[in-house]
Chains A and B, each alone.
Chain A
């Protein structure tokens, strides 16, 4: 390197200048990015923790702490494994209040992503929170805040079937005002497709997760550090 730099011919060639400049700029920018990344990393992680916790505590009423698990086809795995992350939520005295799971389905405009709380003791859904959607403002976006619609999920029936490999009743959205059973979701008038998306997302997720969770309930019944908390 120093040999090349000291020969005047090489120093003046365009190719060398181009490589030198680009190399220097790339190194500087790399350095800057790494510095900022290292500095903001803990702050961002903390922000994300707070955001997740707020959402989890919102969909599992009465919860004040959580531990993370990973749901795989064979059952629960400790946090950090490959698979779907779920959040077991506990009350102040360490009693399991419910499990928060993420789900998603195609809505009117794009994918609707949501978090819902499943209570294994009553085998029902206890609350939902829409995480991400681009549904039509004034119509479809009501799924996020319409009180009558959200009331569907106060105790949405999600019992296991006799064989224990799925739900006894498919969770479906029905037209506004036609709800007759506890496993049905009363759709918002004028936003049927968005409401159906929410019901489908929860149904698809629970058909898989509920049997697994019921089977592995003992492992998450009390808060341990096995799953890995924060």
Chain B
């Protein structure tokens, strides 16, 4: 969509249509790495970076495939580029911060199968964003993802001290919390109108 202001695109991706709480993208890492605030923060940043790289690459892929009239190979190209971007981030983190590498664990390579990233590439294509809009969209989506992760981590740190029935501990409780967060985020709807 032409003519959408950049500020609105950012806000839309970050809160109104938050990737985790409104569009259900990236639930696995959302539930998996949100038990500590520090890990959540780092995971959020790593995802944000991969999102930026993938968003720009997706824009380039669209252009190349459009020129060659090979749009049906789009999905395969996206996922290949995302996988490489994740490898890059993984090597980078492993070299510069082994402790962070250990704390993210299996969830780092799993960014590849984080649907938030592939979703970002697909949505920006569907919305026909130009290059700058795509980058802003990626930044907003990454910021929204980090925000959701941090909120969840903060809640779960408190929850560890709370006295909940044993049967509801774990995933069930996290999902209920996520539902409440999602309910709260619905209040952001209408911001753009």
Contact = CB atoms under 8 A, between A and B. Distances in A.
B76 interface: yes
B170 interface: no
Contacts of B171: none
A217 to B, nearest CB: 27
Interface string A96-107: 000000001011
Contacts of A106: 4, 8, 192-193
Contact of B72 (A34, A110, A136): A34
B73 A197 contact: no
Nearest to A134: B17
A109 B17 contact: yes
Contacts of B193: 106-108, 193, 196-197
Given A29-B76, A33-B76, A111 B1 contact: yes
Interface string B128-162: 00000000000000000000000000000000000
Contact of B190 (A29, A33, A104, A193): A193
A91 B46 CA distance: 58
A33 B74 CA distance: 11
Interface string B115-127: 0000000000001
Interface residues of A, number: 16
Nearest to A40: B72
A104 B1 contact: yes
Contact of A136 (B17, B127, B189): B189
Contacts of A196: 193
B190 A108 contact: yes
Contacts of A34: 72
Contacts of B48: none
Contact of B73 (A33, A109, A136): A33
B16 interface: yes
7 contacts: A29-B76, A33-B73, A34-B72, A106-B192, A111-B1, A193-B193, A196-B193
The 5 closest A-B pairs by CB, nearest first: A37-B72, A193-B193, A106-B192, A109-B189, A108-B190
Given A106-B4, A106-B8, A111-B127, 18 more contacts: A29-B76, A30-B73, A33-B72, A33-B73, A34-B72, A37-B72, A106-B192, A106-B193, A108-B190, A108-B193, A109-B17, A109-B189, A109-B190, A110-B12, A110-B16, A136-B189, A196-B193, A197-B193
